[in-house]
A and B are shown apart, each in its own frame.
Chain A
Amino acid sequence: MIVCGALVVPPTSPVYTPHELAHKRVALDYGNGTAYAGLQMLEGAMPREAVTTCAAATSPAERFAGLMRGDFEATVLQEPWITVAEQAGCRLVSTTFFHGTWVATPDVSVEAYAALLRAITRAVRLINADKRRYVSYFIRDWPGHPEVAELRPHDFNLGRIQLKDPGPIPEDEARWAWDWMASWGLIAGTFDVTTQINRTVEREAHELAAAVRAG
């Protein structure tokens, strides 16, 4: 699954581009992919010393509420809260996409992982054939939140819902991610693919799962 993260400002904000967030507080849920996506969107627009962040709740519902209260200038949201924000008149000043990555214990067998990959591949194809049918999943994740319950399938921008067949992690991308995190002081040590990725299990599982992709 490809995750979409959007840098969002409230309706009354004078900010229209990510560059204009220099030296302004951007709320990030540190330790989560959306926070790293936020940092990458910001540093693509300004020098690192101009990137100014503050700690925010893990829940995008709380980050959205804080944004609307004016607790900070911007935050990063994911679906369905990007759509909620748009419905509320907020502006997206940047969007980006990133992979979700599976982390497994050593006891996950090749056969079990291959079965998981085959099932997910079939699901990806079902969803991609009719994305609108499945956007209700984003709504059902948030019971008790009226702003989400009010969303209708046609409110969602399907371009932000991207899925692809699962595949091995490209070593370059893993290394770039590691080095980038290290450059921010978020991780220590140097990247060693042999300790981070079990290439044997990964390769054998993907080979076992490959038959469904050819089908």
Chain B
Amino acid sequence: MAMTMTIERVMAFMGLDVLVAKDEGLFTAEGLDLRLAALPPDEFQSAAEGTPTKPTTNQGKLQARGEAQMFQA
């Protein structure tokens, strides 16, 4: 039975390897059902709302509420 893992959405600038691995079936070949989860657009906060010491990053939001197991920082 395949292992399942959900990670937060990645973009090419920091996750080209993940995107290519998914499209080329490399996760499937390793027995891993890798799923990408995206934050709903209405929950997305712009960094423009933050300050250096109180940033409004979106990274890790899905993981924090149990909807993803990993994210890239």
CA distance A59 to B60 in the complex (A): 17
Could you say which residues of chain A place their CB within 8 Å of the CB of B34?
A: 116, 119
> Are B12 and A137 closer than 8 Å at their CB atoms?
yes
> Are A112 and B47 closer than 8 Å at their CB atoms?
no
> Are A104 and B70 closer than 8 Å at their CB atoms?
yes
A88 CB to nearest B CB, Å: 18
CA distance A161 to B14 in the complex (A): 10
Could you say which residues of chain B place their CB within 8 Å of the CB of A109?
A: 3
Q: Render B1-34 as a binary contact track against A, CB cut-off 8 A, 1 for contact.
A: 0010100000111111111110010110111101
> Are A127 and B16 closer than 8 Å at their CB atoms?
yes
Q: Render A118-142 as a binary contact track against B, CB cut-off 8 A, 1 for contact.
A: 1110111011000000100110110
> Are B47 and A33 closer than 8 Å at their CB atoms?
no
B3, B31, B48, B69: the one within 8 Å of A57 (CB)? B48
Which of A57, A111, A115, A118 has the most chain B CB atoms inside 10 A of its CB? A115
- In the complex, the chain A residue whose C-beta lies closest to that of B44 is A58
Could you say which residues of chain A place their CB within 8 Å of the CB of B44?
A: 58
Instruction: Kindly state the interface size class of chain B when it binds its partner.
Output: 35 or more
Per the CB 8 Å criterion, the residue count for chain A at the interface is 51
B19, B51, B57, B70: the one within 8 Å of A32 (CB)? B57
CA distance A109 to B20 in the complex (A): 23
Q: Knowing A115-B30, A161-B16 touch, does A103 contact B47 (C-beta < 8 A)? A: no
Could you say which residues of chain B place their CB within 8 Å of the CB of A141?
A: 11-13
Could you say which residues of chain A place their CB within 8 Å of the CB of B56?
A: 30-31
Could you say which residues of chain B place their CB within 8 Å of the CB of A102?
A: 70-73
> Are B70 and A55 closer than 8 Å at their CB atoms?
no
Q: Render B49-73 as a binary contact track against A, CB cut-off 8 A, 1 for contact.
A: 1111101111110010000011111
> Can you list 21 A-B contacts with CB-CB less than 8 angstroms, sorted by A residue number?
A1-B15, A3-B13, A29-B48, A30-B47, A30-B51, A32-B59, A53-B52, A55-B47, A56-B47, A57-B47, A58-B47, A78-B13, A79-B13, A103-B73, A115-B31, A116-B30, A122-B21, A134-B16, A137-B16, A140-B12, A141-B12
Query: 5 closest pairs, A vs B, by CB?
Result: A31-B55, A31-B57, A29-B47, A123-B21, A119-B26
